[in-house]
Amino acid sequence: MDLKSECVNGIQYKYGSEWTRELESKQHWEFYWHQQKIMEGIINAEHGEILEIGVGSGFTANYCRSKGFKVTTLDIDADKHPDIIGNAVSYEFPYKYDYLMAFEVFEHMPYTEFEKIVFKIPKFVRRYAFISLPRNERVLLSVDLKLPKIPSISFEWRILKGRISTEAHHWEIDYKEHSAEKVESLFLNAGLKIIKKMKCNYIKFYALEINKR
């Protein structure tokens, strides 16, 4: 995939929109399902406005709009047609939104910038933030058994990759010093309480409640 490159405050960001115009894999549809599942029972269209950082294909924002939510999108990539074109780290949000969606986006910035925006979240989000992050893993062995008269059995053996294979990723969970424990401690230190966690393939999903200080 051809990526565009932009330098903001001395940091090189790589991104692209070509993939958003292609039909997507079953795996990506499963990611979309988990994006909605992590929010289930927490968000309420009658009492909230959503900010989405990272437009992607636009699927989740449009799905939420179809359910009655007001959604404002922000993205560094103008080709994805966000409501706001800007870098989430440096952008000064004029007011608070009730909910934040940021799926498959924060790994596209250096970890130090991710830290900055995590501490910034309570300043522009009132209630809950929903975030996904990739884990640096790959499937070494996958087995599906279907035998008569017993339920099917699925087994996977996953190991750490030890390298980042996606060009636009700056970091991933459990790659070098960025352990899951470190990331989750960051959330807590920033005043974000983890109320729900899910995992689909190599993507970890978090529902975070904003601590009203």
Q: In this predicted structure, what is the pLDDT of residue 143?
A: 78
Q: Say if residue 20's pLDDT is above 80.
A: no
Whether the CB-CB separation of 135 and 202 falls below 8 Å is answered with yes
Q: Say if residue 199's pLDDT is above 70.
A: yes
Q: Say if residue 109's pLDDT is above 90.
A: yes
Q: In this predicted structure, what is the pLDDT of residue 1?
A: 60
Query: For the domain 4-210, what is the CATH code?
Result: 3.40.50.150
Percent of the chain with pLDDT over 90: 72
CA distance 34 to 5: 29
Q: Say if residue 213's pLDDT is above 80.
A: no
CA distance 211 to 53: 20
Copy the structure tokens of residue 11: 């940091």
- Greater confidence, 1 or 80? 80
Q: In this predicted structure, what is the pLDDT of residue 36?
A: 96
From residue 2, give the alpha-carbon distance in Å to each of 16, 120, 167, 168, 195.
Answer: 7, 31, 10, 11, 37
3-state secondary structure of 77: coil
| Per-residue pLDDT reduced to its tens digit, 61-104 | 999 999 999 999 999 999 999 999 999 999 999 999 999 999 99
Return the ∠ at Cα 30 (arms to 88 and 44), rounded to 5°: 60
How is the chain split into domains, by residue range?
A: 4-210
State the DSSP string of 2-35. Answer: --EEEEETTEEEEE--GGGGSPPPHHHHHHHHHH
What is the rounded average pLDDT of the residues 171-175? 97
Average of per-residue pLDDT values in the chain = 92
What is the rounded average pLDDT of the residues 40-49? 89
Q: Say if residue 21's pLDDT is above 80.
A: no
From residue 75, give the alpha-carbon distance in Å to each of 14, 16, 42, 143, 169.
Answer: 12, 11, 24, 39, 16
Closest CA to 203 of 165, 166, 173: 173
pTM listed for this prediction: 0.90
Looking at the DSSP bridge assignments, the partners of residue 7 are 12
What is the rounded average pLDDT of the residues 186-205? 97
What is the rounded average pLDDT of the residues 41-49? 89
CA distance 75 to 7: 15
- Greater confidence, 17 or 65? 65
Please enumerate in sequence order all residues whose Cβ is within 8 A of that of 62, keeping only pairs 6 or more positions apart, or say none. Answer: none
Q: Say if residue 147's pLDDT is above 80.
A: no
